[in-house]
Amino acid sequence: MKLIRSVNNDTVKNIVGLIQKSSIRRKSDVFVVEGKRELQLAEKSGFKIDKIFCCSEIFKNPKIEEWYTQNLAINNMVRVTENVYRKISYRKNTEGIVALVKKKKMDIDSIAFKNKKPLVLVAENIEKPGNIGAMLRTADASKIDCLLIAEPQTDVYNPNVIRSSVGGFFSVPIGVGTNEEVHRFLNQHHITPHAAGLEASVSYETIDFTKASAVVVGAESTGLSKFWLKASKSNIKIPMLGTLDSMNVSVAAGILLFEATRQRNFYRDQGI
């Protein structure tokens, strides 16, 4: 089995480039994934693992050969020394395993709904990868049907998206497109958008989310564009009880999505 000892190895430089530079990620057909659970979820979700890099000094129990034989359908592994591994890892609490994974196309039109009344999160102009990751984590927890990223301002394959999603990147269907493409997709599936905006807004609790619905949120700095404020059926707000008039976009999305799932679960339990 091959062992990489030098941080100046070309493969190591390529991995570091994929982690640090979006320009390199855009040109590549692979991205970097770190962690046991993330790799298991990636494979379960249909992502193809291209190559694994493991540090035995960190990945101790069980032995790496035993673990990937039991958990991953791949036998393409490279060992690296601890100093090399520290160079190619991006998590603080690392597990000793990093992989290159084949990208999937994030085409909106490739998303198919099993649910007859889908619940969708639309995120427009989100700049911080950590916010996208956090929304994916919430999307998984609330079991929505997909996340649609409109007018993306950050690379969806940014390692910080994957890290902060804690596996949600692989468990939640993702589509990326322009505002017009996302809106067209919603119309095709008869999904009603509700925009998180203060202008002429009503409390989110008054909205009927039991029908096919989309919660639309925007960047914290600028909010939603006029496109969505005009295209949505209603503008919804979360009543603020303190002195501030805004909250983190991923937190706001979580509040709105869990209200939607609360309504759906209540009426389902009532047999309505």
Per residue in 195-247, pLDDT (tens digit) is 998 676 899 999 999 999 999 999 887 889 999 999 999 999 888 888 777 78
- pLDDT of amino acid 59: 85
User: What domains are there in the chain, each with its CATH number?
Assistant: 3-102 (3.30.1330.30), 108-269 (3.40.1280.10)
Token look-up 């990489």 returns: 4
Q: Can you give the three-state secondary structure of 87-123, one letter per residue?
A: HHCCCCCCCCEEEEEECCCCEHHHCCCCCCCCEEEEE
Q: How far apart are CA 92 and CA 111, in angstroms?
A: 33
Q: In whole angstroms, how far apart are CA 19 and each of 69, 89, 168, 249?
A: 27, 9, 19, 25
> What b/e readout covers 257-266, taking b as 16+ CB neighbours within 10 angstroms?
bebbeebbee
Quote the mean pLDDT of the chain.
91
CB count in 10 Å sphere of residue 82: 12
In terms of Cα–Cα distance, which of 155, 262, 248, 147 is closest to 205? 262
CA angle 197, 251, 18 (to 5 degrees): 105
**What's the pLDDT tens digit per position in 81-97?**
999 999 999 988 888 99
pLDDT reading at 115 higher than 70: yes
Q: Which residues pair with 118 in a beta bridge?
A: none
Predicted confidence (pLDDT) at residue 249 exceeds the cutoff of 90: yes
Q: Which of 11-20, 57-66, 139-148, 172-181 has the lowest mean pLDDT?
A: 57-66
Q: Counting Cβ atoms within 10 Å, is residue 113 exposed (0-12), middle (13-18) or buried (19+)?
A: middle
Distance CA 10, CA 51 (A): 15
Pairing status of strand 201-203 against strand 192-196: unpaired
Task: Specify the pTM.
Answer: 0.91
The mean pLDDT value for 105-116 works out to 92
Per-residue tokens: 242: 């303190």
